[in-house]
Amino acid sequence: MRDVTPSATRTEMTWIVMPGQTNALGTVFGGEVMAWIDVCAAVAAQRFARGAVVTASMDSLLFRAPIRTGEIAVLQATVNWAGRTSMEVGVRVESEDPNTGTRTHTSTAYLTFVALDEHGNKRPVPKLVCETEAERRRCADAEIRRARRLAARTEDKSRRQG
């Protein structure tokens, strides 16, 4: 199994926001942004796993600022953490004013993906090797989020059984 650095998974996608993607206020539909996030994160996850991946979860998504018609939506994704068959991908979303180049952070999302083999079964993923202090910090933060997700899943399962 090969080692992979977070920088090897880095993915950037851009879209010009068109009127058909916006609501009556001229801002992008939240569901549209979520779909863009899922696609961008999936590319980063596939670069890491070198194969099929599926979205297992997306953490809560807070919209900090709108993206307006005519602006450029910029999404950047990187694998932050990897376990045996799953990985966390972080996605930062920004709007860019095409006239000035000014960027505004609009949202951040964390998604969990699972790698699958050709039969749809979970398969092992490579080792994630963090090289920089920022990568190590993102990995440590991802481990905290993972622990919270697992605790919430356990709590939900016991609530359903009780």
pLDDT band at 2; cut points 50, 70, 90? confident
Residues 141 and 131: their CA atoms lie apart, in Å, by 16
Question: Out of 1-5, 88-92, 134-138, which region has the weakest mean confidence (pLDDT)?
Answer: 1-5
Strands of 53-58's sheet in order across:
11-16, 72-82, 86-96, 103-115, 53-58
100: tokens are 């000035």
Residues 83-119: tens digit of each pLDDT:
999 999 999 999 999 999 999 999 999 999 999 999 9
With cut-offs at 50, 70 and 90, classify the pLDDT of residue 4: very high
The secondary structure of the chain as a DSSP string is: --EE-GGGG-EEEEEEPPGGGB-TTSBB-HHHHHHHHHHHHHHHHHHHHTS-EEEEEE------S--BTTSEEEEEEEEEEE-SSEEEEEEEEEEE-TTT--EEEEEEEEEEEEEB-TTS-B---PEE---SHHHHHHHHHHHHHHHHHHHHHHHHHHHHH-
What average pLDDT does the chain have? 96
Domains in the chain: boundaries: 3-161
d(CA 21, CA 31): 10
User: Rounded to two decimals, what is the model's pTM?
Assistant: 0.93
Superfamily name and number for 3-161? Hotdog Thioesterase (3.10.129.10)
Q: Which two tokens stand for residue 28?
A: 């992008």
Length of the chain: 162
The answer to whether 113 and 86 are in contact (CB under 8 A) is yes
User: Which of 86, 90, 2 is CA-nearest to residue 44?
Assistant: 90
Q: Is pLDDT above 80 for 22?
A: yes
